[in-house]
Structure formats: C-alpha cells, structure tokens
Chains A and B, each alone.
Chain A
Amino acid sequence: MTPGARRAVNVVMSWLAASAAGLVVLPLLLIFAFLLWQGASAVNLDFFVQLPKPVGETGGGMANAIVGTLILVALAAGLGLPLGILGGLYLAESRDPRLPWLARFLADVLNGVPSIVIGIFAYTLIVLPMRRFSALAGGFALAVIMLPIVVRTSEEMVRLVPASLREAALALGIPEWKMLLRVVLPTARAGIITGAMVAIARVAGETAPLLFTAFGNRFWHQGLDQPIAALPLQVFAYAISPYDDWHRQAWAGALALIGLVFVVSLAARAVTSGRFTGVR
C-alpha cells in the first residue's frame, strides 16, 4: 500500500470510529434536548418546593416526589450497597470452587429478571404481611435490583487489585480480614463507587417495582411504613392523565430525574478523583 493510500485509509477509519462514538452519545443528547424543550417551562421554584395541587387546579410541584425518590434510593443504597460490596468481595476472594460460581450465576440471572417481577416479589414478601404499601417495601425492591449490579462490579474491581499488594500486606503480618478491609477494598474503591453509582442511577428511575410497593403518595413523607411518593411514579401518573398542566409537570419530573442522576454521577466522579486511587 502506498503511503498516500495508507493515510487515506487511516483518515476514513478514524472518522468511522469517531462517528460510531458520536452515535453512542447522540440518543442521550437527544433525550436531554427533548426533555429541556418540553419540561423547562414547568420547572420553577414551585415545582421543587410545593406539593401537587388537587385535580383541576393548576400549579403545584413535585417536592414530595423528589424527597420520596431520595428516601427510596437512600433505603435501597443502605440495604443494597453493603450487602453487594461484601458479596462481591466474597466472590472475588473465595477459594471455594462451587458456591461462588453458583452465586455469580444467580446474580447474573437476577440481573435479567424484569423489574416488575421484583416488584411482585417485594409485594408478597413485605406489602402483604404488613398489609400496607410502604417506603420500606419500595426501598427493598430497589435494593434487590441493585444487588446483582453492585455484586458483579465489586467482584470485578476487587479482582483487579494485584496479588502483589495482598502478598505485601500478608507478609507484613497483617491478618487477612484487615488486609481485605484496609488494603484491597480501598485499592478497588474508585471502581466500586462507579459501580454503586451505576446501580443507583439505574434504580432511581425504576417505575415498575414501585407500582405496588411504594405505591405513590400525594403528600409529604409520612414514615417508612407508609406509602411514599416517587418521581418516576409521579411522572407515570401525570403522563397518562388528561390534563395539559400535568403533562408539562411530567416532563419536568423526567428532567428532574435525569438531573438527579447526573448530579449523583458527578458527585461520584468528584469523590473518586480524590487523592491516591487504585484501580479504576
């Protein structure tokens, strides 16, 4: 191949690769633009601080749903993250030949279970015995959805920690459990946090598992054993309503949801770009 032809091929291929990368982010940009276009008009201070107005009145906001989503996500994270991270640590560290294999396989299956099925699961396990929809049930359902994501990313990140660091720690006379908590986990921290953020972003927008667990609520948070509002639920309810004002608010709610996920991701980046990070 002549140098000229080689250069031409290089240019073409570079452009092909670049446009492929562009196509990947294009849907996100389009969604963002569309949400801004449709929802920006309904975003005002009231939207963030007011409760929904009764049917027929215009105005009001989704403050309760924003708070509700934060509470639900916090519940899910509080339950799912420690369990998932420790589970991932176990899968990566265990020398047992069978149990980790089974757990890994089941985690992958769980990852593929439709979220509405997980909602039904939480419904039978928590809502039915309590005889009440509740924030707890919603948080539990979201935690179950988070688990496989957190477990598998944590496992992969812990695996990336070089064996030489474990040996260095053990050779210093550090017991294995301290080695794991003080050397291995911190080294894998950045990657584990990224995985946790992906999981949080995923569940923050889940609607189906909340339909018959958190149920939704038109008022402020009334306790963890009570039904609770959530952004995706409110968006769903408003979007299928016949009122124009509610439609606009649904768009704004969707925008707020994306903004929330965006902020969480940025915060995670800020945390992980802190001082000495290990594997990423």
Chain B
Amino acid sequence: MADGILVKNLNAWFGEHHVLHNVGIAMAPKAVTALIGPSGCGKSTFIRCLNRMHEVVPGARVAGSVRVEGQNVYTPGVDPVQVRRKIGMVFQKPNPFPTMSIFDNVVVGLRLAGIRERAVLHEAAERALRQAALWDEVKDALGKSGVSLSGGQQQRLCIARALAVEPEVLLMDEPCSALDPIATARIEELILELRSTLTIVIVTHNMQQAARVSEATGFFLLGELVEFGVTRQLFTNPHDKRTEDYITGRFG
C-alpha cells in the first residue's frame, strides 16, 4: 500500500510564467527526499504542488498528476482540504498562530476538524510535541503564547502542529533557513527520527544538509528536474554536467 509519491508530467504556472516543466519523479515511502537547486529554480513551487498549495496563489495553475499513496491529488472532485490533511507542511519561517497558546497551536488542526474531547487532544498534543522533540521544553508552559518561544522552538512547534493531524507525508520548505546551526542540527535529528514513520520531502539550499538527512536527492534548475537519484551517488558521481557544476559551486 505504501507507494510514496509518484509525480508525472507536472507543469506549473504563475499567470503566464511557466515555472515547472514536465517534472516526473518517484519518491520512496518512509524515506527522506531532498530537493536542491538555486533560488527560483522551482523546487518550492514543486513541493507546493504536492499538497495543492500552489493553487492558493492568485493566478497560479497546475497540470499533470501527483499520486500520493496511490491517489492522484489532482483528480477532479478531490477536495484540496482533504489532500492537505494527509500531507503536512512546514514553512521556511516559523509561523505559529500568534493568538494561540502552545497547546492550541499543536491541536488546532484536530480541533478545527471537529475533535473536542480534551483527553484526545491532550494525548495528541503530547505525542506530537514528543515527536517534534519539544515536549520536555514546553510541557510546563503549554498555556504560554506560541510566539514566546525561540525561533528554533517555534519551528519545532510548527512541525508538531503538522504532525498532530497524523499526516502520511511531511513537506518541508527550507525549514532551517531562518535558524541558527544548533537549532538546525536539532531539526535534522528530528528528520532522521521521523523518517521511519513518514514520507518526508525537504527543500533546502544547504547541500550538506541534503547529504546528511536524505536518501534520495533531486536537483532542480530553471524549472526542470535535471537529475534525481540516490543522495550519495548524486553528490559524489553526478550524471549531469549541470548537477556537477552546481554541487561543486561553479554557479548558483
């Protein structure tokens, strides 16, 4: 049943601007796939197509198929809300809800899906916060504001918030680019722990990070997927000249 994510002929536009060209990729389930490439290469747009967040931007369009665990999320009639419930997302800048406590931030997805029982919410909050390696730091301050935490803690809070609804896939759009090296290391540890339970796709500008956390890596350039393969292979022995140029720092 675990099929991972299978993308075929994915094209995306912002208005007239064609930003993704025929991307095809097969990402393994319960593994970490990293996407690298220079700014503006389409990697963020790509992962936003996976949970139908791309179309939230006015004028944005998508064509192609994205199968997540066997189901094409772009089949007409599929509700994007249901798609996003199964595919969690963590953003570049930590974005906890400022009007909510730590606890409320974590359970907001469940609560707005209609779950009211306090016991259930508490259990889910503790589980998600433990998974996000934040429980020990906040267990005595669950009523405090989510934005009172440090940047790294906020990002882990956002990860907990995404995990609380028990998604099958977790998309991470440069989750560490606003964090210091120590907070980054904690998030990376977290990714390594989570990969046994989830399919993770991470966009990163940091090639060392891609090498550290992922099994497979894709290299994007100018809206195309130039190369996709086993991480070690891609970094040590890339097939494509452009990949080699990029990872050796010759451009980008």
Contacts and interface: CB of A to CB of B under 8 A. Distances in A.
B162 interface: yes
Contact of B81 (A164, A175, A275): A175
A278 B147 CA distance: 10
A95 B98 CA distance: 25
B165 A172 contact: yes
Contacts of A170: 53, 56, 84
B168 to A, nearest CB: 12
B112 A171 contact: no
Interface stretch (A182-190, A191-199, A208-216, A255-263): A182-190
Contact of A164 (B84, B95, B100): B95
A173 B95 contact: no
B99 A187 contact: yes
A9 interface: no
B109 interface: yes
A24 B58 CA distance: 43
Interface residues of A, number: 23
B85 interface: yes
B93 A173 contact: no
Contacts of B147: 276
Interface in A17-39: none
A178 B108 CA distance: 11
B108 A165 contact: no
A168 interface: yes
Nearest to A277: B99
A162 interface: yes
Interface residues of B, number: 32
B56 A276 contact: no
Complex A-B, nearest 10 residue pairs according to Cβ-Cβ distance, in ascending order? A173-B85, A171-B89, A173-B84, A172-B109, A164-B95, A186-B99, A276-B145, A168-B95, A278-B98, A276-B99
Interface of B: 51, 53, 56, 58, 81-86, 88-89, 91, 93, 95-101, 108-109, 112-113, 145-147, 158, 161-162, 165
Contact of A189 (B99, B100, B158): B99
A167 B82 contact: no
Nearest to A181: B112
B99 A278 contact: yes
Nearest to A187: B99
A95 B55 CA distance: 13
Contacts of B89: 171
Contacts of A169: 97, 108
A249 B35 CA distance: 76
Given A172-B161, A187-B97, A276-B100, 4 more contacts: A171-B88, A171-B89, A173-B81, A183-B99
A276 B99 CA distance: 5
23 contacts: A95-B58, A164-B91, A164-B95, A165-B95, A165-B97, A170-B56, A171-B53, A171-B162, A172-B108, A172-B112, A173-B81, A173-B82, A173-B83, A173-B86, A173-B109, A173-B113, A173-B165, A174-B108, A178-B112, A187-B97, A275-B145, A276-B100, A278-B98
A167 B53 contact: yes
A275 B196 CA distance: 39
Nearest to A164: B95
B85 A167 contact: no
B188 to A, nearest CB: 21
Nearest to B144: A276
A167 B55 CA distance: 11
B109 A183 contact: no
A171 B91 CA distance: 10
A169 B161 CA distance: 10
A186 B83 CA distance: 26
Contacts of A182: 108, 112
A162 B158 CA distance: 16
